[in-house]
Amino acid sequence: MSPRLLLIAERAEFRRLVRLHVEIEWPDALIVEHRVGLDAPLDPQFAAAAFDAVVVVGAPPSSVEEALVAEFLSRPEFAPVVLVLLQDAPPAQRKVPGLRRLVGRKLDRGLFIQAIEDASHEHRQMLAMLRSNPNFEKRYLFGSIMIRGHRCIRQVGSGGMCKIYLAESERAGTVVVLKVFNQVPDVSERLVGFDRFLQEYEIVAGLQHENIVRIHDLGVADDHAYIAMEHFPAGDLRQRMKMPMSPDTALHFLEQMASALDAIHGVGVLHRDLKPANVMLRPDGSLCLIDFGLAKANEPGADLTGTREIFGTPYYMSPEQGHAELIDARSDLYSLGVVFYEMLMGRKPYTGSTAMEVIYKHKRAELPEVAPQLASYEGMLRRLLAKSPADRFQSARELLDAIAMLKARA
């Protein structure tokens, strides 16, 4: 049986070396790479339960691999580790449970393959022992709901229709955000909230785009729907905007969000709740749109909320959305313009003591002045934040073309 391995290394050539040796022996092996220094640190509660072994590779002068392994071995139930150090062999060291150490300037393939096989065997024995414990299945409890294949780490939030957890997904082999639907759908009556929840998955799962959240799993457990999606330990754009942001960074973020909207709008879907809290960051600096719970398929007969209802966040609503008028892709572009203004200026364009005051200003108030040093962005801002949709960019693609021209002139 081909192993499933988590490969951790800072240098790309080390990752390629391990892949070469493993795939010669097991062409169908599943190898998930974790790039030290580039990917987010593994969550402290992550136990690599879905992997037969964790392979960590390093070489002098770095000592980060040794520190990582020591930290992994301190975690309860962590998968066995194969540590490969490409250096001169030190004096003999004592054996450590859960660890196989290979040291030498060259990787001995025979010893390496044997270490993986031994680690896999040890892991299977450990899992069998754990499953014999009567309390084993409690790890799969999310409140009172049992969701096998996802080990609960902790609850991190709740919304109107979901509770939100961090979980270790055995299928994805990583920490995921697990949204668990609160209501049990009644087969005799379609719940609008349940439809929106399922639609979030259907929209996102069909789009393979680097700036749209990755969906790992969807299912129903104990009559409750759940969705497992990408975890963003780097936080959201709202948090990032609390720190200074250069105009170049703001434009780069705008471009990524526009690219995501271009993909969404291309399949006839509106986001309808674009705001900094729904834009997540990865450690490599890329952005992802999330939370399509208010998204609406832009097709006849696909309206889940009613065309005259207000959904969204007033600070970021287009004038037509705030007044419960018909909306289209240009409404999302207006919301994107509000976010861009806030990134550039460090404040929202319109504020008020009540939601209705903010909604009124979006419809009637002039755009506040743009700082002189940001004059090169004023034309783009005014088109994004035009009161009439006809005066805005007509598509995310048109906005992307304008961003490209602005960058070329810089």
String of DSSP letters for 58-78:
E-TT--HHHHHHHHHHTSTTP
Q: Of 236, 262, 273, 332, which one is the catalytic site residue?
A: 273
Interior/surface letters 381-402, b for 16+ CB within 10 angstroms, e for the rest: bebbbbbebeebbebbbebbeb
Can you read off the two tokens belonging to residue 297? 């398929």
Interior/surface letters 242-274, b for 16+ CB within 10 angstroms, e for the rest: eeebeeeebbbbbbbbbbbbbbbbeeebbbbbb
Phi and psi angles of residue 155, each rounded to the nearest 5 degrees, phi first: -80, 135
Q: Return the closest-CA partner of residue 26 out of 2, 51, 61.
A: 2
Distance CA 331, CA 223 (A): 36
Beta strands in 59-132 (DSSP E): 81-85, 99-103
C-alpha to C-alpha distances, 406 to 113, 309, 373, 380, nearest whole angstrom: 54, 37, 15, 9
Contact 204, 215 (CB under 8 A): yes
Q: Is 273 a catalytic residue?
A: yes
Can you read off the two tokens belonging to residue 409? 């002139």
Helix (H, G, I), strand (E, B) or coil at 29: coil
Distance CA 262, CA 256 (A): 10
Interior/surface letters 171-185, b for 16+ CB within 10 angstroms, e for the rest: ebbbbbbbbbbbeeb
* 61 preceded by a cis bond (ω within 30 of 0): yes
Which residue intervals of 132-169 are DSSP H helices?
A: none
Distance CA 59, CA 103 (A): 10
Distance CA 248, CA 250 (A): 5
Among all chains, which residue has been given the structure tokens 């703001």? 250
List of residues 6+ apart from 110 with CB closer than 8 A: none
Q: Which residues are catalytic?
A: 273
